[in-house]
Amino acid sequence: MLKIENISASYHKIQILDGVSLQVEPGEFLGIIGPNGAGKTTLLKVISGVKKPVSGRVMLDGKDLASLSRKQIAKIMAVVPQSTFIPPLFTVEDVVLMGRYAYQKSRFITSREDIEVCEEAMEKTDTLSFRNRLISELSGGERQEVIIARALVQQPKILILDEPTASLDIRHQMRILGRVKALVKESGITAIMVIHDLNLASRCCDRLILLHNQKVYSEGSPSHLLTPKNIEEVYGVKVVVEYQSIIDAWQIMVIEEG
């Protein structure tokens, strides 16, 4: 479904990514991890077409991403950004309906189908009950669920998430990632997520990509990739990695700086 071929990217002549290649399979929940400055968000921007690479290409459904229009991309791929400004006087329903732009002949015309898709997305994210509330009245967790609903009304095959649990409490972190995991399992959506919390990544993702020094340092299942050696070499900390049967996932405890 998605293939990244030898991508290099930079900002102001400072190289951020160097020859990154990877492939994402349909129905996969892929996590992108790595230390600050590793190029995780830059890679998402290249994948979603927001940033043009210096070299390499992104293939989406067998087509070069660069050859597709923004509306064509929006019907295949939806993005939940790290942060986004929304005017405070918009209602929840207004914000969710913004995601239908790729299907609308005019931004001033909302069809019955748009409303139905919007209601379905809000049901999946438990936001339907406060559809008429102003976005400014929501908590951080509720707001993030609305942003995910806005992405879902694009009816995408691929959902891109850039640190979706940043600044959220533990309950909302589990709630948001649980929703994404359910969407992958039940709706067949492919999810690609940048995340800093390695323990949450281990619990939620099918496969991980570890970025370091502008390249893919390692990739594989959480049990394969999250080893004390990999974490110490990339993050510079000594850790203990233990399997927790109660959650069926490997968990990491930091001992000291390496």
Give residue-wise pLDDT tens across range 219-246. 999 999 999 999 999 999 999 999 999 9
Q: What is the mean pLDDT of residues 145-168?
A: 94
Question: How sure is the predictor about 86, in pLDDT bands with cuts at 50, 70 and 90?
Answer: confident
74-90 CB burial, b ≥16 within 10 A, e <16: bebbbbbbeeeeeeeeb
- Give the contacts of 114 (CB within 8 A, at least 6 positions apart): 97, 100, 103, 104, 153
**Half-sphere exposure (Cβ direction) of 79: Cα atoms closer than 13 Å:** 17
Q: What is the mean pLDDT of residues 210-220?
A: 97
Residue 227 has a pLDDT of 97
Cβ burial of 255 (10 Å; 0-12, 13-18, 19+) is: exposed
Residues carrying CATH 3.40.50.300, the chain: 1-76+156-221
96-118 CB burial, b ≥16 within 10 A, e <16: bbebbebbeeeeeeeeeebeebb
- Give the contacts of 221 (CB within 8 A, at least 6 positions apart): 206, 207, 208
Q: What are phi and psi of 33, to 5 degrees?
A: -125, 170
DSSP state of 199: H
Distance between the two ends of the chain, CA-based, in angstroms? Answer: 39
Measured distance CA(158)–CA(151) in Å, rounded: 10
- Indicate whether 83 pLDDT > 80: no
- Indicate whether 151 pLDDT > 80: yes
pLDDT digits (tens, 9 = 90+) for 161-198: 999 998 899 999 999 999 999 999 988 899 999 999 99
- Give the contacts of 252 (CB within 8 A, at least 6 positions apart): 198, 199, 202, 226, 231, 239, 240, 241
pLDDT digits (tens, 9 = 90+) for 43-79: 999 999 999 999 999 999 889 999 999 999 999 999 9
Q: Domain 1-76+156-221 - what CATH class? A: alpha beta
Residue 106 has a pLDDT of 74
Question: How sure is the predictor about 6, in pLDDT bands with cuts at 50, 70 and 90?
Answer: very high
**Half-sphere exposure (Cβ direction) of 179: Cα atoms closer than 13 Å:** 26
**Strands, E, within the chain: which ranges?**
2-11, 14-24, 29-33, 55-60, 63-64, 77-80, 158-162, 190-194, 207-212, 215-220, 237-244, 249-257
pLDDT digits (tens, 9 = 90+) for 90-110: 999 999 999 999 998 777 688
Residue 105 has a pLDDT of 78
Q: What is the mean pLDDT of residues 33-52?
A: 95
pLDDT digits (tens, 9 = 90+) for 99-144: 999 998 777 688 999 999 999 999 999 999 999 999 999 998 999 9
Residue 247 has a pLDDT of 94
Amino acid at 105: K
- Indicate whether 250 pLDDT > 90: yes
Return the structure tokens found at 197: 């919390």
Predicted model pTM:
0.93
Residue 4 has a pLDDT of 96
96, containing H or E segment: helix 92-97
Residue 231 has a pLDDT of 97
Residue 87 has a pLDDT of 82
Measured distance CA(122)–CA(167) in Å, rounded: 22
